[in-house]
Amino acid sequence: MSRCLLVSNRLPVAFNSTLNIFTPSSGGLVSAIKGLDSSKVGFDFEWMGIMTDDVDVEKINSLRTTPVGNLPSHPIIVPKKKYDLYYNEYSNNVLWPLLHYERSMVHNSQDGWEAYKEVNQLVADAIVQEARDDDTIWVHDFQLFLVPGLVKDKRPNLKLGFFLHIPFPSSEIFRELPQRKEIISSLIRCDLVGFHDLSYLNHFRSSVQRVLGEIPSNDRMWGVYPISIDSQHFLDLRNKPETLEFIHKYKENKKEMKWILGVDRLDYIKGLLLKLQTFKEFLKRFPEERGKVQLVQIVIPSRTEVPEYQDLKQQIEQLVSSINGQYGTPAYTPIHYLYHSVSEAELSALYQLSEVLHIGSRRDGMNLVSLEYIMSQTEEEPGVVLLSEFTGAHSTLSYAVSINPWNIKDTVIKLREALHHPLSKRKEEIGAMRDFLTHYNSSDWAKVFLRDLVREPVVTDTTLTL
């Protein structure tokens, strides 16, 4: 099998300086790549990602010698100060909000941009050094937009694909970016650029046209490849002894209570405040549901050094406590709020026990939580997925209940209906989505992308929709 170098900002583990150990990384990109099955995709994968130079060298070297999960890793060492500017100031404070339509959160930074260029250069150099001529290079996500162009400068014949895990916004937004030309000029040099959704591809195409004044002749090298999850893994998790233990424990407390579940990284794109306001409105509008329905909201810490994320955490916690104060009783806490990640077994138990999953993202590249929830449902008592129309998954999961999270009044009604949705309908809907995901998992996603990358596709839209 030939080798494919997966390249991303993150490796599957991150160094936790408080505990002085490596802990599993979170996020859609990492969970999709971790689930890839080499034999099914037809490539031997190795993973290149960044580690900062404040981590003990011996620890970093241990990553080189001991594969993490089943993949050999190649850490690329970047000075910590440079990394912070590249990651926090440019990637997360400029690109992330702009590409998610959050223009008020964009803080342009020249220092951030300089560091972004330097770190992309370090990553490109590492690829140029590591890659054999017959390797396939697959670069991931917005932190590494400049890598394709920099690699192609030195190794024009290397097969190189790029996948964007977040939305590509309307050209009306993208063209506000001061560095728009550098980014577009790099991406068009790829042999294939993939997006989750056809709308992202169309926006990209119009940005290329507006920024460069023309569409290059290789524009057929852009395609739609919605990501998926390791579906079998989530099916299997349902009956693991640890999962069953959690189910047993929670069932005792839950009794007849209905659960609306939320699982989101702490990020303004996830619409957490809107979701809390919606639940508050639900309790106000339907007093008969008080004491019978709880929101279980897991918030996974993320980008904790960015001030906007710290402010958001405070706002969320204030709102949770004001709703609990207003509608709670000694016997009833309306919102169970957890600010930490949970184990896979606990997550599977929560997925199985919740009557509704509420995804209220303001914008979300794909949203893999909705897919995980579907694969975790039981045949006997499946739940309902309330899914924001501003997620990439919305194009794939046509049996989910579509919501516009900004329309609180309408979402409240849909939430109520979802909680009382007939069992036969739930079985039909979850069943259809589960069948689809069983035949389209993360390995299928990678297989289709890499097939098109190496064989030079003629199709630009491979969107798979139920």
Q: Which of 4, 6, 7, 10 binds ligand F6P (CB under 6 A)?
A: 10
Can you tell me which residue has the tokens 């290789």?
218
Please, which residue, 282 or 445, has the CB nearer to ligand F6P?
445
Please, which residue, 202 or 302, has the CB nearer to ligand F6P?
302
Q: Which of residues 291-330 bind ligand F6P (CB under 6 A)?
A: 302-303
Buried residues in 432-459 as b, exposed as e (16+ CB within 10 A):
ebbebbeebbbbbbbbbbbebbbeebee
Please, which residue, 107 or 303, has the CB nearer to ligand F6P?
303
Applying CB under 6 A, the site for ligand F6P has a residue count of 11
Between CA 146 and CA 177 the distance in angstroms is: 14
| Phi, then psi, of 335 in degrees rounded to 5 | -120, 125
CA end-to-end distance (rounded Å), the chain: 32
For residue 288, the minimal CB distance to ligand F6P (Å) is 37
Buried residues in 2-38 as b, exposed as e (16+ CB within 10 A):
ebbbbbbbbbbbbbeeeeeebeebebbbbbbbbbbbe
Angle at 138 between CA 30 and CA 344, to 5 degrees: 15
Taking contact as CB under 6 A, which single stretch among the options 25-33, 172-180, 234-242, 317-325 is the one that binds ligand F6P? 25-33
Q: Which of residues 104-143 bind ligand F6P (CB under 6 A)?
A: 141
Please, which residue, 358 or 414, has the CB nearer to ligand F6P?
358
What is the x/- site pattern for ligand F6P, positions 332-371, by CB under 6 A?
---------------------------------x------
Between CA 242 and CA 450 the distance in angstroms is: 36
Please, which residue, 187 or 415, has the CB nearer to ligand F6P?
187
Q: Which of residues 156-185 bind ligand F6P (CB under 6 A)?
A: 165-166
Compute, in degrees rounded to 10, the torsion defined by CA atoms 446, 448, 451, 454: -70
Q: Which of 7, 11, 13, 29 binds ligand F6P (CB under 6 A)?
A: 29
The helix-helix angle for 423-438 and 368-376 (nearest 10°) equals 110
28 in contact with ligand F6P (CB under 6 A): yes
Cα dihedral sign, 448-453-456-458: positive
Taking contact as CB under 6 A, which single stretch among the options 28-36, 60-68, 167-175, 347-355 is the one that binds ligand F6P? 28-36
Please, which residue, 35 or 365, has the CB nearer to ligand F6P?
365
Please, which residue, 162 or 259, has the CB nearer to ligand F6P?
162
Tell me the C-alpha to C-alpha distance, in Å, between residue 463 and each of 158, 224, 228, 341.
27, 6, 12, 31
List contacts with ligand F6P (CB under 6 A). Answer: 10, 27-30, 141, 165-166, 302-303, 365
